Structure 1
Amino acid sequence: MSISKQHEIHTRRYGRNVGVGLLLAGFIVIIFGLTVVKVTRGDYEPPLGEASE
């Protein structure tokens, strides 16, 4: 029996991990994009402190 031979479950698990990783990366890109658009459009205003009143 060869040590380097992968079992079928490892191949399926690797494919699932790649899929989850791509979904996570896509989610991060969407959140980052929404943040950039919101900040550059000027919709974001930092909370005003009580000292500015």
Structure 2
Amino acid sequence: MAIHQDHELHTRRWSRNLGVGLTLAAFIALVFGLTVVKVQNGSLMQGADHTYRSEIDPANQMPVAEPEQ
């Protein structure tokens, strides 16, 4: 079996594949990082229905009334 040199086309294709792979890895890391940040702030998280829910709005908290004696 003779050792042969790769063609120039294979070298260019490998470098292009490496660039696409690194771009994909960066995108996955970005989505993972955003997911981690969103999960850490989960107490204020709403679903994708985009409706306002007053029970999770901290600015809408009513003061607790003390019982009368």
Q: TM-score, normalised by structure 1?
A: 0.73
Q: Report the structure, 1 or 2, having the larger helix content.
A: 1
Question: What's the offset of the Cα at 1:3?
Answer: 4.8
Unaligned stretches of 5+ residues in structure 1: 47-53
> Bigger relative contact order, structure 1 or 2, given CA contacts below 8 A and separation 6+?
2
User: If you compute each CA radius of gyration, which structure gives the higher value, 1 or 2?
Assistant: 2
Question: Percent identical across equivalent pairs?
Answer: 58
- In the alignment, which residue of structure 2 is the partner of 1:44? 45
Unaligned stretches of 5+ residues in structure 2: 48-69
RMSD: 1.7
User: 1:11-22, aligned counterparts within 5 Å?
Assistant: 11-22=11-22
Q: Distance in 2 between matches of 1:44 and 1:21?
A: 32
Question: What's the offset of the Cα at 1:14?
Answer: 0.3
- In the alignment, which residue of structure 2 is the partner of 1:50? none
